[in-house]
Amino acid sequence: MAEDASAANDFAHAPNLSKEEIALRYSKWAQGAQYEQDLSEENYKGPAITADVLAELFPDEDSRGDVYILDVAAGSGFAGEKLVQKGFQKLDALEPSEGMLNLAIGKGIYTRTFQTFLNGPTNCILSGSYDVALICGGMGEGHIPCSGLDELIRVVRPGGLAVIVMRETYLTSVVEYKDRLEPRMKELELEGKWTSVMRRVVPKYSFENNGVVFVFRVL
């Protein structure tokens, strides 16, 4: 039921948890494919929204196979699967939860995988490695902090894109983001790190909640 799935999602976004505790909760959620049942497309349209946005940004279908993408907080690979359906082929995954990453690896759609946090030791990823770094569903209570934006920028080549797709209410309900996330995005723009391409509110991103899509071009 959608109510049970929503409760499971809230369990992974509970306040006052360390990022390590959250990663363990995701690993537990991944057991028995429960996560994939709870966040089926009926309840969670974020991956489809993300793939549609990337397809809009790269309208030439023949060139999509050459776009090198880092799927940050990849989870079980939902967004990656949707991207492959759109013709994107060069995908790497960054995911701190071992259980989730194992599900993603099992789908055979990622070339390289990194079990780490975006704001953790990502030195294994060279600066400017990707044409696109995207976060679909990785923003939330105790999840990627505002400081993670700097790392998102670092791994993208100049001229590449940083894409964030998240629940709109988290902009005000998550303490880390309230009056901080969008101002930090603007600061990075004023610092000449990136420039805004899109800010779009989308309906029914997860369950009955609207989502918001941010797209920035890295400078």
Which pLDDT belongs to residue 18?
73
Which pLDDT belongs to residue 120?
64
Tokens representing 41 are 């497309």
pTM for the structure as a whole = 0.89
**C-alpha to C-alpha distance for 112 and 133, rounded to whole angstroms:** 14
Which pLDDT belongs to residue 42?
72
Kindly give the residue spans of alpha helices, DSSP state H, lying in the chain. Answer: 2-12, 19-30, 34-38, 46-57, 78-85, 98-106, 148-154, 170-173, 181-190
Question: From first to last of its 219 residues, what are the pLDDT tens digits of the chain?
Answer: 444 455 555 545 667 677 677 767 766 665 655 665 665 667 789 999 999 999 999 999 999 999 999 999 999 899 999 999 999 999 999 999 898 898 899 999 999 999 998 876 556 899 999 999 999 999 998 889 999 999 999 999 999 999 999 999 999 999 999 999 999 999 999 999 999 999 999 999 998 899 999 999 999
**C-alpha to C-alpha distance for 70 and 164, rounded to whole angstroms:** 12
Break the chain down into helix, strand, coil percent, rounded to 5: 40, 25, 35
Q: Which residues contact 27 (CB under 8 A, 6 or more apart)?
A: 97, 98, 99, 100
